[in-house]
Structure 1
Amino acid sequence: MITSVFKKAQAQYFQFPEHRKRQTLSFELVKNIAIIKLYINDKGPFNFILDTGVDPMVVTDPSLKESLKVNNTRKIMITGYDNTNTVEAYVTHELPVKIGDAEALNSPVVFLKEDVFNLSGYLGKKISGLIGYNFFSSFVIKINYINRTFTFYSPKKRVNPKGDKIPFEFINHKPHITAQIRFNQSTYPVKLIVDCGASHSLSLETFNNQSFAVPSPNIDANLGVGLTGVISGKKARIDWLKIGRFDFNNVISSFPELIPDSVKKIARNGNLGAEVLNRFNVTFDYANQAMYLKKNSRYTDPFEDDMMGIEIYMEEGPPSRYLITRVDEGSVAQKAGILPNDEIIALNFKPIDSYTIDEIANLFKARDGNAILMECWRKDQRIIKLIRLKKRI
């Protein structure tokens, strides 16, 4: 969902106070994405996505630039994931940023002029931005997706990471690994960005300067939001993904539509997201250009996609509203008569505000054949539909 190329800003590393060498903090996990709390300029806490796919730190909420009294900024233009269109932003190098007891006194921070990602609506809670390279490069960082904690260790502390070592290559401060995939009766060696800020399993973009041929069956899908708008494309299953000695079968993969002229500008083959990473306890060791993967209890979970066929956006309240922004062609929701702009008010007799966005997403991909009673407002009309989930890929 979130991979952008920025003009470089000099990194300011985080440091512990002298007495500390490690710290463990909790995070929220929403749609596979880890959300941490941090402080900027002694204000906060603000919710930020922990994201190996960004550099430098990005503030997506434009109102923070004024409320934090940010001065001495310069305007920059940021290119999208396909290296084509640009958006306007402002960068400063003078803000102190604090995570737990660790602080970067003069952190480079990019403020987007517009909230092009709308992460708050997508994740159902207020999100102010993303933090990546300048935090990950300061420590050895261990993410425990089951306990929902992350531990970061000072470079002065000796750490013996557990799990299989997967070497990194850094390109534009973003970690890339080599892996193998198989589909359409072919096996491909691929270079993938490791992107813990992307909720998907795998995104496959180009191979030998051409877009990947999408396997069948497949479905049209919105694949997230980039700097220049919605990323359209398709979803399909690939036969096999291999990372080191770890194998995954029937992996749901995204195939974004790329502008033909941009295909040759993309150095990677794709993007490895958190739906794969969260099946491990992951240790990131940027100094030694490696991550370590240790299986957790989610390792053997099947890969499943939304079986309802709708996208939901949370409009902040009070009260918050859950609006349907898209209904997929041929989906069970469309066949039941659900329309864009319908407002969900209840699911299975429970008020919608008793669910989190994450719980709704999990409900819609729980099991093929599950029945869900959906109640919606459409203008001044109450709509009640019994919809049976259907696996589409």
Structure 2
Amino acid sequence: MISRKIFLLVLLSFNFIAFTGAQVPGFFMKEEARKVRIPFYNSNSLIILPVSINGRESINFLVDTGVRSNILFSKTLGDALGLDYTRRLSIAGADGSTVIMAQVSPINTLDLGPILGRMQSLLVLEQDFFELESVIGVPVYGIIGYEFFKFNPVKINYDEGFLEFYRENSIKWKPPFYRKFDMAIEDSKAYIEAKINQKSGPKINAKLLIDTGANHGLLLNQETSDEIKMPPLFIESQLGQSLGGVLYGYIGRVNSLNLNGLKMKEVLTSYPDKNKFSDIIVATGRQGSLGSEVLGRTRMILDYQRKRALIRKGENFYSPFEYDMSGLILRKIPNDENRYYVSDVRLGSPAYKTGILPYDELLSVNKIPTFLWELSELFKLLRSEEGKEIQLEMRRYQGDDLTEFDDYKVSIFLKKQI
């Protein structure tokens, strides 16, 4: 399982360039129409789109409502694209401590096929950050944030894998089967209210960030409310990857998550460790966020101009929330053809008991070579069915010498831990 989205906070944001004449920074349809459709690559309900910067070859971007600024993960790539920079800023990851420098490229054109992003600023990281490929399984070079949503309603159809980008004010009525949510737009981010029935604590009304770029289901920040309580059953685990490194915390469940009558039961919930970023979260007034594991079970229209979200059940709305049952935390070797290694092994898990160690490489899974597996398929397999046998062929390297290794075979039997 991809444990969590790459939480990313731009601490020192930048002002968009002032427009001249009729040129307004934003995303617009190239031709006059009520709506246009864009297919996206769906990786565990994360939305990935090909984007051309200033007419160059398209590269993959993550669509992320949890981020204010458009971000490019590599100054090396930015230089190759011929970007111009005007100033230098400091940014920090979700651990609140690691500081990375970035350059501002203020005026760019982002082409998404039928949609054009005009006069778009890009925050370009000086230190190349390509960790998303290792946790998603496909190369991702940047993030599109608030600018994509600020003028036009956007429908996200996770079931069929496409976005519909609507003309401004073209959705005047609530479509059939959708429920309307009041949506607050604060600091370029979208929030809705939800009711949460906890395992150990009281029922709470929570203000939650809509975070399409996060790979968790529900996330609750304990530091934001004394009413948020850990469930009696939980496991300690990596929650994801950020600019500041690996994020840690706990995974448990709540009895139910109620979104204006849309009720999900036994929802997997992340409880991140408190860090230097916590004070900023508390200041927003939110108690947590909704990530792709929950959002991907819906069909959703985000209408920032009218400050509303329209949500209906998706095809897998009632599917059970399952967490990895192996204990393996897998990563893809970046820039390589479907090679995977063990990033970590949870203590006491089925994989731990077989003796698998971090940095062991997978050679085959159920006798199928790993180059035939996508990372998302492996995640799905490892949370599929309690008691299922998984046959693994592994390779253990001797130190840093990649020519010295031992191959071995093990079988693990999946077991629920939460």
Provide TM-score, normalisation by structure 1: 0.94
Using the TM superposition, give the Cα deviation of residue 81 of structure 1 relative to its aligned residue in structure 2, in angstroms: 3.5
Which of the numbers 161, 164, 184 marks the counterpart of 1:169?
184
Using the TM superposition, give the Cα deviation of residue 82 of structure 1 relative to its aligned residue in structure 2, in angstroms: 6.0
Using the TM superposition, give the Cα deviation of residue 22 of structure 1 relative to its aligned residue in structure 2, in angstroms: 1.9
The code of the aligned residue for 1:308 comes to: S
- Where 1:299 maps in the other structure, the secondary structure is coil
Give the aligned partner of residue 120 of structure 1: 133
Using the TM superposition, give the Cα deviation of residue 89 of structure 1 relative to its aligned residue in structure 2, in angstroms: 1.2
Larger mean CA deviation between 360-369 and 201-210 belongs to 201-210
Q: Within 5 Å, which residues of 2 pair with 1:200-219?
A: 200-206=216-222, 208=224, 212-219=228-235
Give the aligned partner of residue 387 of structure 1: 412
Matched, 1:107 2:101: no
Larger mean CA deviation between 61-70 and 382-391 belongs to 61-70
Matched, 1:325 2:340: no
Q: Within 5 Å, which residues of 2 pair with 1:1-393?
A: 1=5, 2-6=7-11, 7-10=13-16, 12-81=25-94, 85-116=98-129, 118-155=131-168, 157-158=170-171, 160-162=173-175, 163-183=178-198, 184-206=200-222, 208=224, 212-259=228-275, 262-263=278-279, 266=282, 267=284, 268-379=286-397, 380-393=405-418
Using the TM superposition, give the Cα deviation of residue 305 of structure 1 relative to its aligned residue in structure 2, in angstroms: 0.4
2:35, 2:164 within 8 Å by CA — same for their partners in 1?
Answer: yes
Deviations 1:42-79 (A, max 9, x none): 11211111111111111123322111111133111123
Using the TM superposition, give the Cα deviation of residue 259 of structure 1 relative to its aligned residue in structure 2, in angstroms: 2.5
Using the TM superposition, give the Cα deviation of residue 104 of structure 1 relative to its aligned residue in structure 2, in angstroms: 2.2
2:102, 2:125 within 8 Å by CA — same for their partners in 1?
Answer: yes
- Output the CA distance in 2 between the equivalents of 1:60 and 1:276: 26
The runs of 5 or more residues in structure 2 that have no matched partner are 18-24, 398-404
- Output the CA distance in 1 between the equivalents of 2:68 and 2:379: 29
1:82, 1:263 within 8 Å by CA — same for their partners in 2?
Answer: no
The runs of 5 or more residues in structure 1 that have no matched partner are none
- Output the CA distance in 1 between the equivalents of 2:274 and 2:94: 10
- Output the CA distance in 1 between the equivalents of 2:278 and 2:314: 38
The alignment's C-alpha RMSD in Å is 2.0
1:5, 1:81 within 8 Å by CA — same for their partners in 2?
Answer: no
1:181, 1:241 within 8 Å by CA — same for their partners in 2?
Answer: yes
- Output the CA distance in 2 between the equivalents of 1:265 and 1:355: 38
- Where 1:186 maps in the other structure, the secondary structure is coil
- Output the CA distance in 2 between the equivalents of 1:177 and 1:8: 26
1:9, 1:56 within 8 Å by CA — same for their partners in 2?
Answer: no
Larger mean CA deviation between 58-67 and 219-228 belongs to 58-67
1:55, 1:174 within 8 Å by CA — same for their partners in 2?
Answer: yes
Deviations 1:224-277 (A, max 9, x none): 122312111010111121111111111110000013784475222111111111
Measured at CA, do residues 330 and 32 of structure 1 come closer, stay the same or move farther in structure 2, by a change above 3 Å?
Answer: same
1:53, 1:193 within 8 Å by CA — same for their partners in 2?
Answer: yes
- Output the CA distance in 2 between the equivalents of 1:94 and 1:211: 45
1:174, 1:193 within 8 Å by CA — same for their partners in 2?
Answer: yes
Measured at CA, do residues 317 and 47 of structure 1 come closer, stay the same or move farther in structure 2, by a change above 3 Å?
Answer: closer
- Output the CA distance in 1 between the equivalents of 2:97 and 2:370: 39
- Where 2:26 maps in the other structure, the secondary structure is coil
The code of the aligned residue for 2:388 comes to: N
Measured at CA, do residues 129 and 264 of structure 1 come closer, stay the same or move farther in structure 2, by a change above 3 Å?
Answer: closer
1:56, 1:110 within 8 Å by CA — same for their partners in 2?
Answer: yes
Give the aligned partner of residue 402 of structure 2: none
Using the TM superposition, give the Cα deviation of residue 29 of structure 1 relative to its aligned residue in structure 2, in angstroms: 1.0
Using the TM superposition, give the Cα deviation of residue 161 of structure 1 relative to its aligned residue in structure 2, in angstroms: 4.6
Measured at CA, do residues 161 and 48 of structure 1 come closer, stay the same or move farther in structure 2, by a change above 3 Å?
Answer: farther
Deviations 1:97-133 (A, max 9, x none): 1112221221011111224461011111111111121
Provide TM-score, normalisation by structure 2: 0.89
Deviations 1:165-208 (A, max 9, x none): 11111121010111121221411111110001111101110355
